[in-house]
């Protein structure tokens, strides 16, 4: 059994190539510390991209993720102001934040599944509403860690075997989601809806429920991402994640998911996140101006997606003749 | 009386403007292979869709499954009851594995959060495939399978779902000879298991090989059911045609000039059509007919530059010409009106005026490259009057018109390009009868004015009513050419179904 599909091997080899180049330019790159920092620094992106993968497999999209995540960070900030400095508080945060995120995600899901509005329209709307609400509640003010309970700071700095807790959280999310996709009927329904919506309904899959699920799950993971974001930045910044939704979608698409639905994998998405993360890190280590980073990331996305589109067209052409070839019946 | 697994009685289905099924009966005996035949549009697909829960029948229909009254409101009701339909375009999940595709029907009924046992799933899929004796790797993605293999996966899914009645809609249309043989084997195996099968096909020969009984539909009506050994291909064809509808035929043969406008020599495209040679004269209406899938529409698209032929030449006004795109075709004076006017012919939410002017916008610009609104409007008014589009309001949106009037707008649009050659595919599809006659008259008037017209149609009375000359296509070849006067429905059907006229005329 091959662990990676052809496409994932493609991304993986680009990553390896990139790593070699970056190491030659700046040997610091290949140090374990730097690599772990890269992953830690992109844990939020990774968690959100995992949730987005499910949404995209069903053929949907969620551009409100950054807003939802920010909204949850504000909510967690409010919790921290009011919770005692006690271990239980962290537990409460870990229960309440994902649930709050799930609630916001369910709003998206409700409009997509029940009212049948295209996901892009729904989430553009909620993006605006959530952002507006955040600015109203915080007046756009930045909150730093001086107001955080010590127990949360301890959690943020927790290392196990020298690896940050945030990295473990990312991989736990990846494993659980991968498991849901492969071993539960709802996971398979996600693929079925994206692969052939009409047949999926014909075999009795409840499309509304699947759509509601992917958006709610996206929100749930946004809640976890919000905790990670606060732990990583040690602050609550109402504008800190602005524009992140595009990077999230880019990572998923780079990872081989098809925006038309049906294709996508957690492994691929993680590789997509890694590719974006390494590119960014490498450009920093190579001391290239930050605005070039955006250009390079954009180029990578365009190249990867065009390559994919061309491949698909070729495969399509190979399969297109279905008419009967006329064998004259001599009888 | 034999044991019936399925009996459908008094099934009618009315679509806006069309009665697709009219008091149809269908009885399937336990464990038989039952063929269902009829011309294009006779109502076979609609009947199957009623059975599958895709369409709800009109009031008064009664359906009995295994002797019990059946209530089929949704597709899943049919499958749960034990009816699996294998559609021509298949309904697999290309992104999932064979095992998942086979088991998904069964799991569809499980709660959302149940866990999947891959081992069990694979075993179940393998068992289903084993029963049919077709070895397919259940780990493979369906995407990577051939069409024939995909079909087998569909059948395996039906088996895994404990189907008692499997409907196969044109299952052999995209299979090679050896694959068809394999399918027959599988059908035998299913029969041995006691599964009943409804087999829909245009290929009469194969029906005699696989089926026990046959039911014939015509114009949405039930004609009868027959034992295969009591009937013949010729008899079936006579039952399928003999339509009650016929349109008045206006003679106008004296107006055809001798000037050849379009000539094809040995036009060939692999998998579409082969060695097509034809001549089209100024002012002539050439009807091209044949079964769906005989290559008619593909040929039309090739003439219009949308489907590049592999070999053969095209001559316009006696000169060899290359038509590589629809744009070039238009420049050469060819217009093509596709079958699906809603999808390909009209911008439905735009006014009639804009629709008519669309192909000729470039001729309507003033020196500032702005649109000459007045000219545009004048042209639209002109066509609306000439073709008698009703209501005669060019500001109406195209979607507000009836089917017949929409078709007139589409024709206007292409007339605006002032073509010498007009190719029109299924000109009266989904149009009520009164409007059909009007479109026929219009096509004849156009020919009288010197336009060479190719009419592609499955509706034989229509072809007979308008054509000066008729070509019958079958499996990508022209199998017969006849003059409009000598043609009859039986003659055409014999060629379309059998490739020869057989005893009927000799």
Average pLDDT over residues B320-338: 88
Give the residue-averaged pLDDT of B286-295: 85
Q: How many CB pairs below 8 A link A and B?
A: 101
Residue B473 neighbours by CB distance under 10 Å: 24
Give the chain B residue whose CA is nearest to the CA of A186: B112
pLDDT, averaged across chain B: 84
pLDDT at A74: 93
Statement: residue B1 has pLDDT above 60: no
pLDDT band of B252, cuts 50, 70, 90 = low
Whole-number pLDDT of residue A231: 92
Per CB-CB distance under 8 Å, the chain B contacts of A183 are 115-116, 118
Q: Do B96 and A188 touch (CB under 8 A)?
A: yes
pLDDT of residue B243: 55
Please judge whether A198 and B104 are an interchain contact, meaning their C-beta atoms are less than 8 angstroms apart.
no
Is it the case that residue A96 has pLDDT exceeding 70? yes
Contact B79 A195 (CB under 8 A): no
> Which of A251, A279, A277 is closest to A265 using CA atoms?
A251
ipTM of model:
0.78
* Cα B375 to Cα A301: distance, rounded to the nearest angstrom: 47
Percent of chain A surpassing pLDDT 70: 92
Q: Quick check: B76 and A322 CB within 8 A?
A: no
Does the pLDDT of residue B411 top 90, yes or no?
no
The minimum CA-CA distance between B217 and chain A, rounded to whole Å, is: 25
Residue B398 has pLDDT above 50, yes or no: yes
pLDDT at A91 exceeding the cut of 50: yes
Query: CA of B84 to nearest chain A CA: how many angstroms apart?
Result: 10
Computed over every residue of chain A, the mean pLDDT equals 86
pLDDT exceeds cutoff 60 at A1? no
Higher-confidence residue of B11 and B108: namely B11
Count Cα atoms within 13 angstroms, Cβ side, for A36.
Answer: 13
Predicted confidence at residue A318, as pLDDT, reads: 57
Range B28-32 average pLDDT: 91
Indicate the DSSP class of residue B468. S
The answer on pLDDT for B253 being more than 60 is no
Other C-beta atoms closer than 10 Å to the C-beta of A248 total 33
| C-beta atoms of A195 and B94 within 8 A | yes
Which among B177, B132, B127 is positioned nearest to B155, based on CA atoms? Answer: B132
- What is the pLDDT averaged over residues A305-314? 74
pLDDT at A322: 38
Q: Is the peptide bond before B391 cis (omega within 30 degrees of 0)?
A: yes
Which pLDDT value is given to residue B245?
Answer: 57
Among the partner residues B104, B114, B271, nearest to A192 by beta-carbon distance:
B104
Determine the distance in angstroms separating the CA of A195 from the nearest CA of chain B, rounded to an integer: 5
Tokens found for residue B305: 């530059």
A246 pLDDT above the threshold of 50: yes
The reported pLDDT for the residue numbered A107 is 96
Beta bridge partners of B167: B85, B198
CA dist B369 and B355 (Å) reads 19
Cβ-in-10-Å burial (0-12, 13-18, 19+) of A26 comes to middle
Task: Check whether B214 has a pLDDT greater than 90.
Answer: yes
**Are B93 and A192 within 8 A, CB to CB?**
yes
DSSP class of residue B344 equals I
Q: State residue B376 phi and psi, 5-degree precision.
A: -60, -45
The residue among A66, A91, A58, A318 whose CA lies nearest residue A212 is: A58
Mean pLDDT of B252-268: 81
Contact of B305 with B323, CB cutoff 8 Å: yes
pLDDT above 90 coverage of chain A, percent:
44
Q: Give the pLDDT band of residue A328 (cuts 50, 70, 90).
A: very low
Classify B465 as helix, strand or coil: helix
State residue B225 phi and psi, 5-degree precision.
-120, 145
DSSP state letters, A100-129: HHHHHHHHHHHHHHTS---HHHHHHHHHHH
Chain B residues interacting with chain A (CB cutoff of 8 angstroms): 75-76, 79-80, 91-96, 100, 104-105, 107-116, 118, 147, 173-174, 177, 270-272, 274, 293, 295, 298, 475-477, 499
Q: What is the DSSP letter of B478?
A: E
Q: Is the pLDDT of residue A325 over 50?
A: no
- Shortest Cα distance, chain A CAs vs residue B126, angstroms: 18
Q: Residue A217 and residue A181: Cα distance in Å, rounded?
A: 12
Residue A222's pLDDT band (boundaries 50, 70, 90)?
Answer: very high
pLDDT at B286: 93
B115 CB neighbours in chain A (<8 A) are 183-185
Checking if the pLDDT of B244 tops 60, the result is no
Residue B272: which of A183, A204, A323 has the nearest Cβ? Answer: A323
> Averaged over A142-162, what is the pLDDT?
85
Q: Do B93 and A202 touch (CB under 8 A)?
A: no
Determine the pLDDT at residue B113. 67
pLDDT at A274: 93
Range of weakest confidence among A29-33, B253-257, B402-406: B253-257
User: Cα–Cα–Cα angle for A267, A273, A279, nearest 5°?
Assistant: 135
Q: What is the DSSP letter of B351?
A: B
- Residue in chain B nearest A322 by alpha carbon: B174
Q: What is the pLDDT of residue A324?
A: 40
Task: Answer yes or no: are the C-beta atoms of B90 and B154 closer than 8 Å.
Answer: yes
Domains of chain A: 6-288 (1.10.3470)
DSSP output for B22-75:
EEEEEEEETT-EEEEE-STTSSHHHHHHHHHTSSPPPTT-EEEETTEE----SH
Nearest C-alpha in A relative to B293: A323
Q: What is the pLDDT of residues B444-475, one digit of tens each?
A: 888 888 899 999 988 888 888 889 899 999 88
Neighbours of A41 (CB within 10 A): 15
Q: Say yes or no to pLDDT of B387 above 50.
A: yes
User: How high is the pLDDT of residue A46?
Assistant: 96
pLDDT of residue A321: 43
Q: How confident is the model at residue A39 (pLDDT cuts 50, 70, 90)?
A: very high
Residue-level pLDDT at A329: 38
In the numeric block, the tokens 């509808």 are attached to B245
Q: Which residues of A touch B206 (CB under 8 A)?
A: none
Residue B112 has pLDDT above 80, yes or no: no
Contacts of A262 in chain B (CB under 8 A): 93-95
Considering only CA atoms, give the Rg of chain B.
Answer: 25
Specify the residue for token string 């179940």: B124
pLDDT of B173 over the 80 cut = no
Q: What is the pLDDT of residue B503?
A: 38
- The mean pLDDT value for B216-239 works out to 86
Q: Do A324 and B115 touch (CB under 8 A)?
A: no
Look at residue A51 and tell me whether its pLDDT is greater than 70: yes
pLDDT beyond 90 at B70: no
Nearest CA in chain B to A57: B95
pLDDT surpasses 80 at A259: yes
% of residues, chain B, pLDDT over 90: 17
Is the pLDDT score of A295 beyond 70?
A: yes
List of chain A residues whose C-beta atoms are within 8 Å of the C-beta of residue B75: 201-202, 204
């Amino acid at each position: 059994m091959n662990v990676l599909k052809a496409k994932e091997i493609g991304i993986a080899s680009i990553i390896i190539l990139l790593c070699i180049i970056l190491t030659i330019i700046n040997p610091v790159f290949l140090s374990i510390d730097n690599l772990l920092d890269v992953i830690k620094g992109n844990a939020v992106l990774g968690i959100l991209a995992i949730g987005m993968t499910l949404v995209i497999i069903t053929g949907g999209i969620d551009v409100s993720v950054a807003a939802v995540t920010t909204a949850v960070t504000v909510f967690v900030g409010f919790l921290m102001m009011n919770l005692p400095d006690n271990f239980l508080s962290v537990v409460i945060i870990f229960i309440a934040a994902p649930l709050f995120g799930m609630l916001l995600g369910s709003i998206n899901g409700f409009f997509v599944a029940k009212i049948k509005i295209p996901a892009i329209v729904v989430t553009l709307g909620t993006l605006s509403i959530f952002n507006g609400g955040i600015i109203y509640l915080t007046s756009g003010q930045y909150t730093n860690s001086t107001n955080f309970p010590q127990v949360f700071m301890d959690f943020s700095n927790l290392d196990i075997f020298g690896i940050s807790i945030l990295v473990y959280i990312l991989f736990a999310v990846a494993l659980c989601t991968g498991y849901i996709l492969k071993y539960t009927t709802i996971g398979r329904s996600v693929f079925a809806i994206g692969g052939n919506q009409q047949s999926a309904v014909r075999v009795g899959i409840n499309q509304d429920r699947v759509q509601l699920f992917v958006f709610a799950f996206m929100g749930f993971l946004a809640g976890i991402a919000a905790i990670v974001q606060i732990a990583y930045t040690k602050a609550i910044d109402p504008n800190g994640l602005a524009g992140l939704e595009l990077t999230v979608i880019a990572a998923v698409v780079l990872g081989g998911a098809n925006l038309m639905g049906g294709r996508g994998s957690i492994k691929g998405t993680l590789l997509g996140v890694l590719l974006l993360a390494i590119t960014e890190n490498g450009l920093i280590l190579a001391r290239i101006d930050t605005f070039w980073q955006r250009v390079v990331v954009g180029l990578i996305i365009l190249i990867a997606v065009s390559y994919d589109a061309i491949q698909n067209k070729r495969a399509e052409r190979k399969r297109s003749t279905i008419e009967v070839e006329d064998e004259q019946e001599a009888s | 009386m034999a044991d019936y697994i399925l009996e459908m009685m008094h099934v009618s289905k009315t679509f806006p403007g069309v009665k697709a099924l009219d008091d149809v009966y269908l009885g399937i005996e336990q464990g038989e292979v039952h063929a269902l035949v009829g011309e294009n549009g006779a109502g076979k697909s609609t009947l199957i869709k009623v059975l599958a829960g895709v369409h709800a029948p009109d009031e008064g229909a009664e359906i009995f499954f295994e002797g019990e009254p059946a209530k089929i409101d949704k597709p899943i009701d049919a499958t749960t009851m034990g009816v699996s339909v294998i559609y021509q375009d298949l309904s697999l999940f290309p992104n999932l594995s064979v095992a998942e595709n086979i088991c998904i029907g069964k799991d569809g009924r499980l709660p959302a959060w149940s866990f999947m046992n891959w081992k069990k799933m694979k075993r179940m899929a393998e068992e289903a495939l084993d029963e049919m004796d077709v070895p397919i790797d259940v780990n493979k993605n369906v995407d990577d399978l051939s069409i024939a293999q995909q079909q087998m996966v569909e059948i395996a899914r039906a088996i895994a779902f404990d189907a008692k009645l499997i409907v196969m809609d044109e299952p052999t249309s995209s299979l090679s000879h050896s694959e068809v043989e394999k399918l027959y084997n599988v059908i035998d195996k299913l029969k041995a298991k006691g599964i009943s099968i409804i087999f829909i096909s245009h290929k009469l020969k194969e029906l005699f090989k696989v089926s026990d009984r046959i039911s014939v539909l015509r114009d949405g009506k039930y004609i009868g059911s027959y034992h295969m050994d009591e009937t013949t291909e010729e008899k079936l064809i006579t039952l399928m045609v003999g339509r009650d509808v016929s349109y008045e035929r206006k003679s106008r043969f004296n107006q055809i000039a001798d000037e050849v406008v379009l000539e094809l020599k040995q036009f060939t495209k692999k998998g579409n059509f082969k060695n097509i040679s034809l001549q089209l004269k100024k002012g002539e209406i050439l009807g091209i007919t044949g079964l769906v899938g005989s290559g008619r529409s593909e040929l039309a698209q090739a003439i219009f530059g949308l489907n590049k032929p592999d070999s053969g030449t095209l001559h316009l006004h006696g000169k060899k010409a290359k038509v590589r795109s629809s744009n070039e075709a238009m420049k050469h004076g060819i217009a093509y009106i596709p079958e699906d006017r809603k999808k390909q012919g009209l911008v439905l939410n735009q006014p009639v005026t804009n629709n008519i002017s669309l192909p000729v916008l470039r001729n309507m610009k003033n020196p500032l490259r702005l649109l000459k609104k007045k000219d545009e409007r004048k042209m639209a008014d002109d066509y609306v009057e000439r073709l008698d589009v009703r209501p005669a309001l060019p500001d109406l949106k195209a979607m507000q018109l009836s089917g017949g009037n929409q078709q007139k707008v589409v024709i206007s649009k292409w007339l605006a390009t002032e073509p010498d050659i007009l190719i029109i595919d299924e000109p009266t599809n989904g149009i009520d009868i009164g409007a059909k006659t009007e479109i026929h008259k219009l096509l004849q008037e156009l020919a009288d004015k010197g336009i060479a017209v190719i009419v592609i149609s499955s509706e034989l009375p229509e072809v007979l009513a308008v054509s000066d000359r008729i070509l019958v296509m079958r499996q990508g070849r022209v199998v017969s050419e006849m003059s409009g006067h000598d043609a009859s429905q039986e003659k055409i059907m014999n060629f379309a179904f059998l490739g020869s006229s057989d005893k009927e005329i000799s």
